[in-house]
Structure 1
Amino acid sequence: MDEEHREEPLPAKAEPVNLFGNPVPLARQRKAARMLKRYARKYRYDEDAFYPLFVEDNRVIGPFIGVKNVVSGAALEKLDAHRGVAIGTIRMGYGHYRIAMAIASAANSMGLVPYWFDLLGFKTPGARMIRDIDYWYSLASRMSQKSKLFNDYIWDPLLGKAYKRVEKNYPLMQIARLFADVYKDIPADMPFIGTHPWPAQAAVFAGMSNVINVVPDNCPLGFHLAPGALHTVQSSSAYMIFRTLKELGNKGEIPKGLASSELAMAGNYVDHELVANAEADCSARMDRVARKKPRRLLISVGGAGAQQPLFVSIVRALWPLIEAGDVALYLNFGDHRKVYDLLRREIPRFEETATRHFDWAETTRFAQEAISGDVKSLHTFLNDDTFAAVYTTNMLMRSADILLTKPSELAFYPVPTLFLPRVGGHEAWGAIHASELGYGTSECTSTAMVLQALDLMLSEDDLLALYCDNIVKLKKQGVFNGAYRVIELAQEKRRVP
């Protein structure tokens, strides 16, 4: 048998391995050891490597939410161990970036310095590995929207079920050891907030003592856990499932859940700027309704660039209303020029009609002016910079009347939302959360359902009024305070001797 695939014997008196009190079978431990060895060899991991870390201004979103990027190389400013908060993330889709921006915005509003720590921002073996994985993730996401069989029998079940059981995800957790090399120059007691499980898991492996694992979505998965970290969730249902590990334990067993000291209910992770202005923005929406202003729609293309045929169908259906001046459409393509080119080809007069916002300074100016000014017709947004691609949607949400999105992390924002079909089973629960709280539709699982709901929300006012009213009530209840709560928890742990 080839050495790489030879079963690794475990020491006769090895300490039992468990996750939150649940034993990991020996077969799973051996699989983890083989995977770790294989990836370390493939990506040439060196455990003795050291990456000196410095910070530099983030010129794109720094002026808005105070973010500084953590970089390795040139001798620049060092991390501030007293006022700094490290926010670990990965550009896999846009969702983890979006959560990180919400956490950074909250930290900035509370007088702290948010440090952007993207595992893909360093020239490390771990970064090379993640890029390879993300390539296949993005490809599969796009395939799921082109093949119903692939989506129904492979992709949707994979993301909603395959990553559920905790012990089954033990090998994936162990892989995070290969990312820990780049943490060596971060002060060990600095708050580290992971918006993807791998940055949080790696921080624990690196010996950091104040790690918060910000659990995304509303679909608890074993993969989301980072043993040794404090976990935060956005819903009471997710809190209960992690406390019991209901359906996440070993087959045929009632598992032990997370202790209350390992888990915290935070609420929806939302930027400070959107939470602080929620009442004013909803009031402006209803004022536009009363004055018969064009209904403003925001469509945000996701990080994988999926759902392209659906976007074409929606824009085609809206086109007569756009030309008649009854609808204003913001279409943020993110960094997906191919999706923009598709719309240009498929929709007659698309390019001639659209006002293009491809310059970042001009985009930010338009977003600010639209909050109080008039908007009409079609506005397109495109930027190769990932920060700009993601944050454009955050800025446009304030002046939009209705957000059209798959139930990704955008499902947790205080803006009336029409939910498009999900891309992966894990997203279904985001729409359930928003629709039950009352600020968004249920998931519209087909193009026909999307167009029906869209027609209703454009021709009548009751749903928009209902959602705006509920957003104001939910803000008073603290539902949208999740990002603030994460920072508070980090600061509380920082003060504990």
Structure 2
Amino acid sequence: MERSKVIFGNQMSASAYRKAVKGKEKFIKKYGSDMDRVYHLTDAPAPAIGEPLGVRELKISGKTGVEFNDKSLVIGNIRMGFGHYRISMAIASAARSMGYDPYWFDLCSFSGTTCGKVIAGQNQLYSLGSRISQKSVLFNKLLWEPLNSEGFRQLTYNCSDQKTAELMTPVFRDLPKDIPYVATHVWPSQAAIHAGLTHVVNAIPDNWPMALHLSEGAVHTVQTPSAYLGYRALRGMDKHRILKPMPEDSIVYTGQYIDHELVSNIEYDCAKRIERAQNGKAVRWLMSVGGAGAQKEIFVSMIRRMLPYIKKAKATLFINVGDHKKVWEQLKTEMPHMMPYVTEHFDDFIETSEFANQAIDGEVFGIHAFCHSDIFAAVYSTNLLMRCSDVLITKPSELAFYPIPKLMIKRVGGHEAWGAIRAAEIGDGTYECSTPAETCGMMKLIQHNGDIIEKMCENIITAKNAGIYDGAYKVVKLAVSGKIG
């Protein structure tokens, strides 16, 4: 079905459609077309998350080697930063807890296919833009912020993406058409619809409505009531007209996508945080470097201000640089005086898991740095460390929705602003701190006032009781049964 000419009943202009067609042709010229190829799939336990979450990773193979059943659920995703992987892990965790078998279907990992090449190329551009935006005020103001808040918002962007997604369908040919399928990025969702899958849920990550995330034919899920209304109305997605809205059965508000292991332990983990705050224990800070490896300057400022507290055992710092070892080397170069207090946990996920588990109830001091070259371990380490941390330091990306007290640093892209707004309204995070000085000031405020952590923990428990963090479970229910009740 042609999905670029009319989107939710809204006719696209002839020029927008021609641009979409030319965009697809440009990708074919650059990467080739494998629409006539027949790809088969095999599966194996996923690294790092294979055992704890029961995830099996789907890979291209010379022959079919996967036997799906009525408990199988496929999670379509891509690596573009860490966010889409993290949301996929939340869906996998919820699915596993509900008795389903999650299969990891990363389109970007199929490097020899047109699909994989297109996505890898776009990911490189996005990561580059993210890094430049943190170094150039002019680039950020004139290009990056407008692109991420308004450019991706326009329906014409979805028109182009839908046409490009047609190139991604060959890798879907081994998947049963009626298998429950959750996409945590729009391209795996659009491609699944083009490939004829019938039980597709498009789990939208952002709190700022953008046409980029539309995948007509799928059931769209959103994490917040404001996102629901914005998407339902297709608000602001065409500067020249009021658009026809999405049908009621095309979008569902589910709540926030969170791992079962985190949701089920909210009360216990918050009680431990409150206990540490009331007893004057060291404040445990978790610093998570994003998938693009940006914002090093902010981290340097914070570590420099935090170091005196670390020396006095008043603060403990966990730093997860993901798979960006270069970022850690840069931090060491700029702050050699922190090294006597540093313990490195590199490329040993079992040891990282054991450390995080023991730290939930045990004492821990100093600076602990985590780095894993494997992408699964790189992302999931932050999830493990959340349970033993008091405050997460993060930009307002997908982590803005997680049930841990959060200090929000400057966003990377205008679309992220609404993640911080959501956290501030729920009360489980700060507002966005837009400068290093403001960020360090907020850090000092929390460091010296344990009641802030206590209040955030109380708000987290209230939010849990209201079902705010149940989004991942509801997404799985939608994929399996078509309803959340």
Q: Which residue of 1 aligns with 2:148?
A: 159
- Match 2:184 to one of 179, 192, 195: 195
- The answer for the alignment partner of 2:113 in structure 1 is 124
CA distance in 1, matches of 2:311, 2:336: 12
Task: Output the amino acid matched with 1:148.
Answer: V
Q: Compute the displacement of 1:140 (Å).
A: 1.0
Q: CA deviation at 1:422?
A: 0.2
Aligned residues: 481
1:262 aligns with 2:241: no
Q: Does 1:142 align with 2:131?
A: yes
Letter in 2 for 1:428: A
Deviations 1:131-155 (A, max 9, x none): 1111111111111111111111111
Report SS of the residue matched to 1:157: helix
**TM-score when scaled to structure 1?**
0.95
Provide the residue aligned with 1:3 in structure 2.
none
Tell me if structure 2 keeps the 8 A contact 1:355–1:379: yes
Structure 2: give runs of 5+ residues left out of the alignment.
Answer: none
CA contact (8 A) 2:3 2:163 kept: no
Distance 2:188 2:363 in 1: 42
User: Is the CA contact (8 Å cut-off) linking 2:199 and 2:218 kept in structure 1?
Assistant: yes
Partners in 2 of 1:305 and 1:173 — Cα distance? Answer: 29
Q: 278, 298, 301: which is aligned to 1:290?
A: 278
Residue 213 (structure 2) pairs with residue 220 (structure 1): no
Structure 2: which amino acid aligns with 1:259? Answer: P
- Which residue of 1 is the match for residue 402 of structure 2? 413
Q: Hey, what does 2:456 align to over in structure 1?
A: 467
Task: Return the offset for 1:402.
Answer: 0.3
Contact 2:277–2:451 (CA under 8 A) maintained in structure 1: no
SS in 2 for 1:455: helix
2:340 alignment counterpart: 352
The question of 1:331 aligning with 2:319 is answered yes
- The secondary structure found in structure 1 opposite 2:482 is helix
The equivalent residue for 2:353 is 364
Tell me the SS of whatever aligns to 2:444: helix
> Partner amino acid for 2:440?
L
For residue 200 of structure 2, what is the aligned residue in structure 1? 211
Does residue 477 of structure 1 match 2:466? Answer: yes
- The answer to whether structure 1 residue 52 and structure 2 residue 35 are counterparts is no
Structure 2 CA distance for partners of 1:284 and 1:16, relative to 1, 3 Å = closer
Q: Which of 143-152 and 162-171 deviates more?
A: 162-171
* 1:410-489 equivalent positions in 2, closer than 5 A: 410-489=399-478
Output the CA distance in 2 between the equivalents of 1:89 and 1:366.
29
Aligned partner of residue 441 in structure 1, secondary structure: strand
Instruction: Return the match for 1:111 from 82, 96, 99.
Output: 99
Q: Which runs of 5+ in 1 are unaligned?
A: 1-13
Aligned to 1:7: none
Aligned to 1:99: 87
Aligned to 1:341: 329
Counting only pairs closer than 5 Å after superposition, residues 5-20 of structure 1 correspond to structure 2 as 17-20=5-8
**Which residue in the other structure is 1:177 paired with?**
166
Partner residue, 1:4: none
* 2:307 and 2:338 in contact (8 A); partners too: no
Distance 1:422 1:15 in 2: 32
Deviation at 1:63, TM superposition (A): 1.2
Distance 2:198 2:264 in 1: 32
1:401 and 2:397 matched: no
> Is the alpha carbon distance of 1:197 and 1:473 closer, same or farther for their aligned partners in structure 2, counting shifts above 3 Å?
same
Equivalent pair of 1:191/1:494 in contact (CA under 8 Å) = no
Q: Does 1:236 align with 2:214?
A: no
1:239-254 residue pairs with structure 2 within 5 A?
239-248=228-237, 250-254=238-242
For the 8 Å contact 1:86–1:192, the answer to whether it is kept is: yes
Deviations 1:196-232 (A, max 9, x none): 0000000000000111100012011001000111000
Deviation at 1:335, TM superposition (A): 0.5
1:156 is aligned with what amino acid? E
Task: For 1:327 and 1:56, locate their aligned partners in 2 and report how far apart those are by CA, in whole Å.
Answer: 41
Q: Distance in 1 between matches of 2:472 and 2:277?
A: 31
Question: Secondary structure at the residue paired with 1:253?
Answer: coil
Q: Secondary structure at the match of 2:379?
A: helix
Question: 2:303 is matched by which residue type in structure 1?
Answer: V
Query: Structure 2: which amino acid aligns with 1:477?
Result: A
TM-score (norm 2): 0.97
Task: Find runs of 4+ consecutive structure 1 residues off by over 6 angstroms.
Answer: none
Rounded to whole Å, the distance in 2 between the matches of 1:102 and 1:372 is 24
Q: Does 1:83 find its partner at 2:71?
A: yes
CA deviation after TM superposition for structure 1 residue 309, in Å? 0.8
Question: Could you list the per-position Cα deviations for residues 255-296 of structure 1 after superposition, in whole angstroms to 9, with x for gaps in the alignment?
Answer: 111111000001000000000000110000011112221100
Contact kept? 2:47, 2:376, Cα under 8 Å? no
Tell which deviates more after alignment, 186-195 or 345-354: 345-354
Higher alpha-carbon deviation: 251-260 or 193-202: 251-260
Percent of residue pairs identical: 44
What residue is the counterpart of 2:380 in the other structure?
391
After TM superposition, give the deviation of residue 81 of structure 1 in Å: 3.4
SS at match of 2:236: coil
Distance in 1 (alpha carbons) for counterparts of 2:226 and 2:483: 28
Q: 1:319 maps to which residue? A: 307
User: Which residue is 1:42 aligned to?
Assistant: 30
